[in-house]
Amino acid sequence: MTRTVRLLGLCSFLCATLLAGALPGSADELRESAPPAVRGALTAPGAEAPGSELRAVRDSLSAEVDRLFEQWHRPDSPGAAVLVLQGGEAVHAKGYGMANLEHGVPIRTTSVFDIASVSKQFGAFALALLEADGLLSVDDEVHRYIPELPDFGRPVTLRHLVHHTSGIRDWPGTLSMAGWDYQDVLSFEQILRMAFHQKDLNFDPGSEYAYSNTGYNLMAETVARVSGVSFREFCQERIFGPLGMTRTHFHDDHTEVVRDRADSYRPAPGGGYRFVNNSLTALASSSLFTTVEDLARWVENFESPVVGGPEVVARMHERGVLNEGDTIPYAWGQSTRRYRGLETWSHTGSWAGYRTALLRFPEQRFAVVILANTSNMNPARLANQIADLYLDEHLLPEEPEEPRPEREPEDPWEPTLADLHEYVGEYRSDELHTSYWLEIRDDVLVARHFRTGERSFRPREPDRFQAGGFGEVHFLRDDTGAVVAFTANQARIRGLRFERVR
């Protein structure tokens, strides 16, 4: 048996043994527990000691991970910090690419990233801690703690916020419609003010799932008001401090200097990269600054709870249930699904140039954390590819993707200029405190805003258009047939009304 064949057989055996948490304590025990072919390899003349073979296995797998990130591992490219945890131990931890291109600072495992929406599980955990303290119930109405939130005539509970079933509009879409750019200073207070001006819900609370960052920001405000300290302080005192997450904080001041911060980038047309500003402080929904090393401590708390105890950790895995009894994949700041036959819990994040993923396989005690500072990376896909390497013997064969049905070609409405002139005018949203002027440019209906420029309205059918930033636009008419308003409709924003004022 050649060394290569021995190594492949041993790799499969050791990985399976490690994942079962049953690696024997001595070389003799290891040989006795191994299958015959591997036992022969371990006792063959010239065979290396099991510790050496195990190191060779790990080195081989790490080299495969390196290959996944090699396109970013250059001095002129941003990249990622990557951590692989197996049985509570870091079996791969490495930085790829640069944290700062201007100063040539490489990414390390101690580099600090904004992890975007992966932050949500920490917001949910904070709420669960207060519930365990007996200071609130997730079935309490949000209005009880935040009376500034409008009374929508239908109760919105903290549970609805946790599972994205509240009907509260998602602020990235509403801010964009209001004329904000994502590189502007976007403060937590601004987000709350927008929520306090919402006129209606997207749907009856509990009837649907629609992802809402705003819901998690309202959770952060609830935690602060109930605990009597800022959300950042609460998380530091109750989560980060006890877990030893010394490089982690919720970023509540966009001017704060953060040591070892990885800046964010996006590819530039024609090559190279451009810096992407990040001045967001969206507590609980985003804006957690941390490292892969600190996140290893967080992952381990799911297996051996130091903070929260089994009760809170179990709460974190409770999936949402809709009014009709349907259970959704989303739990408390994390989603569950089966990947090639195995149960996983995960969340991804995307903001500015940051792209992040935290993927856990609880039954195998295996996890992957990828924190990237470039928008041209897909950490979710890369995390799955890393799992493919380490969990090969546990995974079912990949199922071929079903071909997508071909869409029938659309036969869009072709309005005349006279038709388009019916929509010309100024439209205002009191909810967003902003106005758009609809006019005709080169035979196309466009919406003009003093901050965002022009957005083209593409006709679909009479009174219905598609427009960037608005989604589906539905024009409304009065009893005389005159156009009086339009509504903007997206997956996370529905029926947002703009009244025609002239």
pLDDT for 433-471, tens place per residue? Answer: 999 999 999 999 999 998 888 999 999 999 999 999 999
Neighbouring CB atoms inside 10 A of 424's CB total: 13
What percentage of the chain exceeds 90 in pLDDT?
Answer: 83
pLDDT at 44 over 80: no
Give every strand in the sheet of 249-250, ordered side by side. 113-114, 288-290, 249-250
Closest CA relative to residue 246, chosen from 286, 300, 290: 290
- The one-letter code for the residue type at 29 is E
457, β-bridge pairs = 445, 467
Return d(Cα 2, Cα 277) in angstroms, integer. Answer: 54
Closest CA relative to residue 354, chosen from 259, 462, 266: 266
Q: Are 310 and 386 in contact (CB under 8 A)?
A: no
Return d(Cα 122, Cα 491) in angstroms, integer. Answer: 25
Q: Are 200 and 487 in contact (CB under 8 A)?
A: no
Give the mean model confidence (pLDDT) for residues 60-87.
97
Return d(Cα 132, Cα 30) in angstroms, integer. Answer: 44
Closest CA relative to residue 260, chosen from 366, 373, 136: 373
pLDDT at 22 over 70: no
pLDDT at 34 over 60: no
pLDDT of residue 98: 98
Which DSSP symbol is given to 200?
Answer: S
Give the mean model confidence (pLDDT) for residues 260-268.
98
161 vs 37, which has greater pLDDT?
161
Closest CA relative to residue 284, chosen from 238, 358, 232: 232
**Tokens 């903001």, residue located:** 351
The most distant pair of C-alpha atoms in the chain lies apart, rounded to whole Å, by 95
Tell me: the pLDDT tens digits for 306-354? 999 999 999 999 999 999 999 999 999 999 999 999 999 999 999 999 9
Tell me: the pLDDT tens digits for 105-143? 999 999 999 999 999 999 999 999 999 999 999 999 999
171 vs 399, which has greater pLDDT?
171
Q: Are 253 and 66 in contact (CB under 8 A)?
A: no
Tell me: the pLDDT tens digits for 173-190? 999 999 888 899 999 999
Q: Are 483 and 422 in contact (CB under 8 A)?
A: yes
pLDDT of residue 407: 74
CATH fold of 417-500: Lipocalin (2.40.128)
pLDDT of residue 114: 98
Q: Are 457 and 445 in contact (CB under 8 A)?
A: yes
Neighbouring CB atoms inside 10 A of 272's CB total: 11
3-state helix, strand, coil in the chain (%, to 5): 30, 25, 40
Tokens of 252: 């509540």
Domain ranges of the chain: 3-68, 111-261+268-360, 417-500
Return d(Cα 22, Cα 344) in angstroms, integer. Answer: 22
End-to-end C-alpha distance for the chain, whole angstroms? 85
Give the mean model confidence (pLDDT) for residues 236-264.
98
Query: Angle of helix 3-19 relative to helix 36-43, nearest 10 degrees?
Result: 120
pLDDT at 50 over 70: no
Return d(Cα 229, Cα 218) in angstroms, integer. Answer: 15
Residue 62, SS3? helix
Q: Are 241 and 229 in contact (CB under 8 A)?
A: no
Tokens of 153: 């005539």
How far out from the chain centre does Cα 449 lie?
30
Lowest mean pLDDT among 14-23, 240-249, 278-287, 375-384: 14-23
CATH 3.40.50.1100 for domain 111-261+268-360, yes or no, is: no
- The one-letter code for the residue type at 478 is D
Q: Are 90 and 41 in contact (CB under 8 A)?
A: no
Return d(Cα 426, Cα 447) in angstroms, integer. Answer: 9
pLDDT of residue 401: 76
pLDDT of residue 49: 55
pLDDT at 367 over 90: yes
Closest CA relative to residue 502, chosen from 436, 420, 419: 436
Rounded to 5 degrees, what are φ and ψ at 133? -75, -10
Residue 455, SS3? strand
- The one-letter code for the residue type at 22 is A
Lowest mean pLDDT among 362-366, 401-405, 474-478: 401-405
pLDDT of residue 52: 81
Residue 412 pLDDT class (50, 70, 90 cuts):
confident
Give the mean model confidence (pLDDT) for residues 34-58.
56
423 vs 1, which has greater pLDDT?
423
Q: Is the dihedral of CA 169, 173, 175, 179 positive or negative?
A: negative
pLDDT of residue 377: 98
pLDDT of residue 6: 41
